[in-house]
A and B are shown apart, each in its own frame.
Chain A
Amino acid sequence: QQQVKQSPQSLIVQKGGISIINCAYENTAFDYFPWYQQFPGKGPALLIAIRPDVSEKKEGRFTISFNKSAKQFSLHIMDSQPGDSATYFCAASLNRDDKIIFGKGTRLHILP
């Protein structure tokens, strides 16, 4: 049973455009929703995270939108840059240092 579903699998965006990645979860006990960025040959790195009591969180060009009733959340990357080309994972856990359940990832490519 996949507890965190992520879409799309891959995404191509023009430089300067907005990249949007969507996720849905099943377990209402999840209390922490991080997004990770992974470059080839590297481990995932925490990008931004949100708790379910907040509907939106913004850090620089990265914004998480959270819809608790729909059990969905999304990552928006504004003014996308070629350096943003990477694989992005949404995830969920019961708290910040509990085990993390990852989505399958979205491979993002930003065209120069």
Chain B
Amino acid sequence: DTGVSQNPRHKITKRGQNVTFRCDPISEHNRLYWYRQTLGQGPEFLTYFQNEAQLEKSRLLSDRFSAERPKGSFSTLEIQRTEQGDSAMYLCASSLHGLNYGYTFGSGTRLTVV
């Protein structure tokens, strides 16, 4: 087990393009979370899944954002029609619900919209 893996580590895209990020959680973890972190700020919650079910979405997650976890394993976060304000670090975390160990973050995907 190598922890939570996120790909790509860095993404530069032009405004208006679509981007997709992938998160591979720790294998036995059934909960998966997405957070966004801008420079000098703490991470902000976006959404989370338990297995394949998306249980909560933040108001930060506009209609241009969509997240999936089709088989309850890896997850993708897609941003359509990117804007400069989407530039941030997108963090994924996972946990095993019920065992109360807290959760483990990946190293994130740094998105820059130019």
Inter-chain contacts of A102 with B (CB < 8 A)? 42-44
A-side contacts of B56, CB under 8 Å: 99
The answer to whether A104 and B40 touch across the interface, beta carbons within 8 angstroms, is yes
Binding site for B on A (CB under 8 A): 6, 32, 34, 41-46, 49, 89, 91, 95-97, 99-105
Sampled A-B contacts (21; CB under 8 Å)? A6-B42, A34-B102, A42-B107, A43-B105, A46-B103, A89-B42, A95-B100, A96-B102, A96-B103, A97-B95, A97-B96, A97-B97, A97-B102, A99-B48, A99-B56, A99-B58, A100-B43, A101-B45, A104-B40, A105-B41, A105-B42
CB pair A99 B45 closer than 8 Å: yes
Produce 1/0 per residue, B94-113, CB < 8 A to A: 01111011111111100000
A43 & B102 in contact (Cβ 8 Å cutoff): no
Interface string of B33-77 (1 = CB under 8 A from A): 100000011111100100000001010000000000000000000
Q: How far is the CA of A102 from the CA of B95 in the complex (A)?
A: 17
Interface residues, chain B, with chain A CB atoms under 8 Å away = 4, 31, 33, 40-45, 48, 56, 58, 91, 93, 95-98, 100-108
- Residues in B neighbouring A41, C-beta threshold 8 A: 107
Residues of B within 8 A of A91 (CB): 42
A89 cross-chain contacts in B, Cβ below 8 A: 42-43
Closest chain B CB from A27 CB (angstroms):
14
Most B C-beta atoms less than 10 A away, residue of A6, A41, A49 = A41
Q: B33 contacts which chain A residues (CB < 8 A)? A: 99
Most buried by B among A34, A44, A104, A105: A44
Whole-angstrom CA separation of A89 from B91 in the bound complex: 15
Question: Which of B40, B91, B102, B108 makes the CB contact (< 8 A) with A49?
Answer: B102
Give the complex CA separation of A6 and B41 in angstroms: 11
Most chain B CB within a 10 A radius of its CB, from A32, A42, A100, A104 = A100
Residues of A within 8 A of B91 (CB): 43-44
Chain A, residue nearest B33 (CB): A99
CB of A105 within 8 A of CB of B97, answer: no
Q: Which residues of A contact B107 (CB under 8 A)?
A: 41-43
